[in-house]
Structure 1
Amino acid sequence: MFEVREMQDGTIYTVNLAQRHCDCGHFQVERLPCRHVLACCANQRLDWQVYVHDVCKMSQICKVYRGEFVPMGDPSTWDRYEGAKVIANWTLRRATKGRPKSTRYLNEIDSWDMRGPRRCTVCGREGHSRSRCPQCTGPSSAGGH
């Protein structure tokens, strides 16, 4: 366990080489020795390369490219590509224009049969509404009011 003090601002960082941990966070995230780890290694005459994670070593990187790459060949011999199969997800659809559909559960009070026939508010007759009233025909009632 080491304490490393920054020369610029005096911030103290704790370095634990056994657990590969430094307070700055770079050692854990990048899996490469940060400058605080390098300072500890230089002070104790330790090999800093020991603290480089195996994933970052050249021997491991060379193993990635050791495998054989098969050439693609002539494009005329390739299997025909039919395209991607698209399956619609209806939950991601945009809302349609207009008034949203009601999600309320209807009961017997909401039944049209129990309300009785529709009455016009202009003439009071049954069977039509204000917007279809025969008394309101003409150019002045084009707006419906």
Structure 2
Amino acid sequence: MTEHTCDYGLFQSLYYPCRHALATCATSSIEWGYFVDPVYTMTSVFKVYEREFLSIPDEKMWPPCYGARLKPNSAFRRKASGGPVSTQIWNEMDAIERVEKKCGLCHGEGHNRRGCSNASHSDP
């Protein structure tokens, strides 16, 4: 604890006690604030905002940007129905024998219950 190190390297990289160091402090009744780097204190954070921020000039005065252009990933597009587009690559193992759907009323093929000519369309 006095060396401000831990086996995971978090203590050394963040300069803030990791949960293992905090657990050690709790079991040993040691004040954990001693092990926190001064950069995390409120006075240090407030010093960042003491300086005045310069206003952003008009966009016409900005230099041209020649950075990378972003292209949307078509895999994340949504279908018109609102569901995501499938990215599955089908092969012969995924082939399914498509069976013609049958009508729920007359069990005829080529139409469904809504388009059945044998259905009675009278309203009760």
Fold conserved between structures, TM > 0.5? no
**TM-score, normalising length: structure 1:** 0.37
- TM-score normalised to structure 2 length: 0.43
Select the structure of larger CA radius of gyration: 1
